[in-house]
Amino acid sequence: MTHQIDLEAEIQRLLTEHERIAEQGITVHRRENVVVLGGEVESVERRDEICRQITGHFPEIEITCDIGITRAQAPSEVEEIS
């Protein structure tokens, strides 16, 4: 059985190294029997692919996905640099 700390490391590496994911900014936290994923990605497709791959690789793990999609609206403010 995979130890907790190894599981988190394995998920982190899967998220980075899987050719269809390549995400380094996803957080992985254990909450009792649930693994909670956090962070933001650029599209709904990427978030869904992350959940699909983790579920496929670790079918015994319950996943909660709190991954958001980064907003891409134009800014309304400017910062003066001094």
Partner 1 sequence: MIRIAAVGDVHVDKDVVGRYRPALEQLPDRADALLVAGDLTRHGTPEEAKCFAKEFGGLAVPVVVVLGNHDHQTDQQEQVTEVLTDAGITVLECSATVLEIRGHRLGIAGAKGFGGGFAGACASNFGEREMKDFVGTTEAISARLGETLRSVRCDALVALTHYAPVPETLVGEPLEIYPFLGCYQLGNAIDSAPTALALHGHAHHGSERGRTPGGVPVRNVAHPVIKQAYNVYQLLTDSVDSELVPV
What's the min distance (Å) between Cβ of 45 and partner 1? 5
24 binds partner 1 (CB under 8 A): yes
4 binds partner 1 (CB under 8 A): no
* Inter-residue contact 21 to 37 (CB < 8 Å): no
The sign of the dihedral angle between the CA atoms of 42, 46, 47, 53 is negative
66 binds partner 1 (CB under 8 A): no
The sign of the dihedral angle between the CA atoms of 46, 50, 52, 53 is positive
What's the min distance (Å) between Cβ of 31 and partner 1? 18
79 binds partner 1 (CB under 8 A): yes
